[in-house]
Chain A
Amino acid sequence: MSALSPKSGSPADCAVTEGHVGLPVLDPPPTAAPDTGKTKNGEWQPYIVGFACNWCTYAGADLAGLSRMQYPPNMRLVRVPCSGRVNPQFVLRAFQKGADAVLVAGCHPGDCHYGTGNYFTRRRFLLMQRLLTFMGVDPRRFQARWISGSEAPKFRDVVTELTEQVRPLGPNRLWREVEP
């Protein structure tokens, strides 16, 4: 029952009932898929899916490689033509399939290879980020960044930071698909 409901019911029904408050995050159901982040020496590692636009962020990551910068191996990049190609449903999909965090990255606004794509990206994900937070997702688990083709150090730093930010949060089980 919420504020808009025309059906009967007292406003108190809107609130989370007391029993929920203070309970731990949903216990993983017994049939949940195994955590995607593999354990290394028994230690859990965050597993991050990144969407990178071909023209800026993917190129920035290439430059980080050319410059032999070192960063944690926790992120896997999916190449897309433009950050504007990243459908919010892809982000949800990654969470469903077991990603612990998702990054969407593209050219800085104004530098889009296609002129305007990332302006729409910005609007879309500013909004989605707030919605996910509203639904209880830790904002550290879903981030967007502008990383240009020359910003290899920034790419390295973003991957490093993201990994370290997610590590203390533990595996993400929210919305994880249950294996049949």
Chain B
Amino acid sequence: MKELHNVNVAMRTLARELLESGTVAGVYGWKKGSRPTLTSPLYIQDAAKADRLAYDQYAVSNLSALLLDHRNNDKKRAIFVKGCDSRGVVRLLQDQQITPEQVLVIGLPCPGMVDEAGSLLTKCAECRFPNPVMADQVLGGVEVSKQPSAPTGVTAEAARKVGVGSRAGERMAQVAQLEGKTAAEKEAYWAEQHDKCIRCYACRNVCPACNCRDCIFDTEKKGWVSKAATSSANAFFAITRAMHVAGRCVDCGECERVCPMDIPIMTVNRKLQQDIEALFGPYDAGVDETVVPPLGRYQTDDPEEFL
């Protein structure tokens, strides 16, 4: 992508400098994969490898959860972020899993991510935060913004052309469509989805909000739920996962992307986002780390339905 040429050069230079100077112990970014349409995560600790860094419209992976590997480490790591990724970093900061001293966030302009066929990902069409919500540095002229905003930086025009954010108003369409169904239809739909789950936990592993040291689905000790992939246990897993990230999900869509069974996980997350907004007022997780997530606070005049 020609708009990103200079950004790529700058990324490599910056990474090299950061590693050479010892400012950071490692850098999270992407590299070109085996196919032109594949841009996959890369972690480098060696300045010599900085030239492998690459960033384009296929760099869909959100790297923020990888920072958890170093959560009890004093050394600093640099991470390149798109708008959606930056919210994952804020998630980790707010959850106190990393400290600002442990991470150097470098914001990038997002051209809108595309699939192999070159069409814009739905999540990008629905994107409200194409710009980093926080960054220590930025490349490509992108502007940091804690408000929903239009794409900025060198790819702003390209992003606008492919329609980044153009369907932000319709983010809840899938939720609304399901809400319109009968209880029996919903039950059948979700039963089918839950039955597919193989409990690989890929969704959890990639999620910046799933940052527990010990996940309740890994420990048998308390016996919350069986590890077997039965419909019952899968439903328990799906709902519990959703409730654990309720009000904390940063809407990056990685869980659904990595699901090998194509379970519409984000539909559940979006449903919760929608209800949280309707019940407790507007809230975007992973934007402002000083605002406590909605389930960690209350208003005495919250909606009352339990009378």
Whether the Cβ atoms of B185 and A20 lie closer than 8 Å is: yes
Whether the Cβ atoms of B186 and A14 lie closer than 8 Å is: no
Shortest distance from the beta carbon of B22 to any chain A beta carbon, whole Å: 37
Whether the Cβ atoms of A6 and B123 lie closer than 8 Å is: yes
Shortest distance from the beta carbon of A133 to any chain B beta carbon, whole Å: 8
Whether the Cβ atoms of B257 and A116 lie closer than 8 Å is: no
Whether the Cβ atoms of B185 and A6 lie closer than 8 Å is: no
B187 sits at the interface (CB 8 A): yes
Shortest distance from the beta carbon of A7 to any chain B beta carbon, whole Å: 7
A66 sits at the interface (CB 8 A): no
Q: How many residues in B have their beta carbons less than 8 Å from beta carbons of A?
A: 69
A135–B242 Cα gap in the complex (Å)? 12
A132–B246 Cα gap in the complex (Å)? 13
Shortest distance from the beta carbon of B58 to any chain A beta carbon, whole Å: 10
Given A127-B295, A130-B271; A146-B306 close (CB under 8 Å) = yes
Which among B174, B185, B225, B303 is the interface contact of A14 at CB below 8 angstroms? B174
Q: Which residues of A contact B280 (CB under 8 A)?
A: 123
Whether the Cβ atoms of B115 and A122 lie closer than 8 Å is: no
Whether the Cβ atoms of B115 and A131 lie closer than 8 Å is: no
A36 sits at the interface (CB 8 A): no
A80 sits at the interface (CB 8 A): no
A5–B294 Cα gap in the complex (Å)? 26
The interface-forming segment of B41-49, B175-183, B201-209 is B175-183
Q: How many residues in A have their beta carbons less than 8 Å from beta carbons of B?
A: 54
Contact flags (1/0) for B204-217 with A, using CB distance below 8 Å? 00000000000010
Whether the Cβ atoms of A21 and B232 lie closer than 8 Å is: no
Q: Which residues of B contact A63 (CB under 8 A)?
A: none
Shortest distance from the beta carbon of B191 to any chain A beta carbon, whole Å: 6
Q: Which residues of A contact B271 (CB under 8 A)?
A: 130-131, 134
B1 sits at the interface (CB 8 A): no
A145 sits at the interface (CB 8 A): yes
Shortest distance from the beta carbon of A32 to any chain B beta carbon, whole Å: 10
Whether the Cβ atoms of A3 and B186 lie closer than 8 Å is: no
Q: Which residues of B contact A38 (CB under 8 A)?
A: none
Whether the Cβ atoms of A135 and B186 lie closer than 8 Å is: yes
A71 sits at the interface (CB 8 A): no
B267 sits at the interface (CB 8 A): yes
Shortest distance from the beta carbon of A17 to any chain B beta carbon, whole Å: 9
Contact flags (1/0) for A1-27 with B, using CB distance below 8 Å? 111111111000011100011011110
Whether the Cβ atoms of B266 and A3 lie closer than 8 Å is: yes
- Kindly report which residue of chain B lies nearest to residue A3, judged by CB atoms: B174
Q: Which residues of A contact B231 (CB under 8 A)?
A: 175, 178
25 A-B residue pairs with Cβ-Cβ distance under 8 Å, sorted by A, are A3-B126, A4-B123, A5-B256, A6-B60, A6-B122, A6-B257, A14-B177, A20-B192, A23-B188, A25-B188, A26-B187, A26-B188, A88-B240, A89-B224, A89-B240, A122-B306, A124-B243, A126-B303, A127-B246, A130-B275, A134-B179, A136-B183, A136-B184, A144-B306, A146-B307
Task: Give the top 9 A-B pairs by smallest Cβ distance, nearest first.
Answer: A136-B187, A2-B264, A119-B298, A136-B186, A4-B266, A6-B121, A3-B174, A4-B253, A144-B306
User: In the complex, given contacts A88-B243, A178-B231, what are 7 additional A-B residue pairs having Cβ atoms less than 8 angstroms apart?
Assistant: A3-B266, A6-B115, A9-B262, A26-B191, A136-B187, A137-B187, A146-B306
> Which residues of B are in contact with A by a Cβ distance under 8 Å?
60, 113, 115-117, 121-123, 126, 171, 173-175, 177-179, 181, 183-192, 216, 224-226, 230-233, 235-236, 239-240, 242-243, 246, 253, 256-257, 262, 264-268, 270-272, 275-276, 279-280, 294-295, 298-300, 302-307
